[in-house]
């Protein structure tokens, strides 16, 4: 038979455990970790206008955003977002693609390349890689395009992105469209 004190202790521990639980990447936890909403959604015909026309209203993550130590996985996520936003501006700015179907194709290529590079960086560390990086092929892209914090690429009200250096390394392949 269970004593009342033992049962009460069980519930106190259970409530404390739930209270301290980490409930997602878009919230700060009790350690005040950086808020880097991740992963970005795959570009589609439905969100392409927001990708191209509201980019300055979405967060960027300069080095000063992160604490000096202990946030390397958040820093890799932030770098992936910065890289992707830089490459989106190439696609949307007409430098590499001229027609709307090419712009979408370019943005999708940029998304895949940025997340592929993110996964390479994840495996270059001695930490557990982001779960989607463990998948291959279409399964990886399906994983990255699920449980999205901002699927429509909505801007953050009142936010203007700081200037971040352009990211090199993206080449649009128009023949793959």
User: Would you say the C-alpha torsion 31, 162, 171, 47 has a positive or negative sign?
Assistant: positive
Rounded Cα gap, residues 108 and 57, in angstroms: 20
79-118, pLDDT tens digit by residue? 999 999 999 999 998 767 677 789 999 999 999 999 999 9
- Compute the average pLDDT of residues 50-71: 90
List CB contacts of 21: < 8 A, sequence separation 6 or more.
none
Q: Tell me the pLDDT of the chain averaged across its residues.
A: 83
Looking at the whole model, is its pTM more than 0.75? yes
- State residue 98 phi and psi, 5-degree precision: -110, -35
For residue 48, which of 2, 1, 92, 95 has the smallest C-alpha distance?
92
Confidence band (pLDDT; 50, 70, 90) for 34? Answer: confident
Helix (H) or strand (E) holding 77: helix 72-92
- Compute the average pLDDT of residues 149-156: 96
Tell whether the model's pLDDT for residue 10 goes beyond 70.
no
């Amino acid at each position: 038979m269970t004593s009342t004190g033992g049962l009460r202790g069980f519930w106190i521990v259970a409530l404390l455990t739930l209270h301290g639980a980490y409930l997602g990447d878009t919230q700060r936890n009790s350690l005040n970790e950086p808020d880097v909403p991740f992963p970005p959604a795959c570009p589609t015909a439905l969100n392409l206008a927001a990708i191209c026309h509201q980019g300055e209203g979405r967060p960027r993550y300069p080095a000063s955003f992160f604490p000096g130590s202990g946030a390397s996985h958040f820093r890799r996520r932030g770098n992936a977002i910065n890289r992707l936003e830089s490459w989106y501006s190439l696609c949307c700015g007409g430098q590499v693609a001229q027609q709307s179907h090419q712009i979408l194709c370019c943005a999708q290529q940029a998304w895949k390349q940025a997340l592929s590079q993110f996964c390479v960086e994840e495996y270059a560390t001695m930490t557990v890689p982001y779960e989607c990086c463990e998948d291959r092929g279409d399964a990886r892209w399906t994983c990255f395009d699920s449980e999205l914090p901002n699927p429509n690429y909505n801007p953050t009200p009142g936010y203007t992105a700081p200037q971040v250096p352009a990211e090199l390394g993206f080449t649009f392949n128009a023949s793959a469209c």
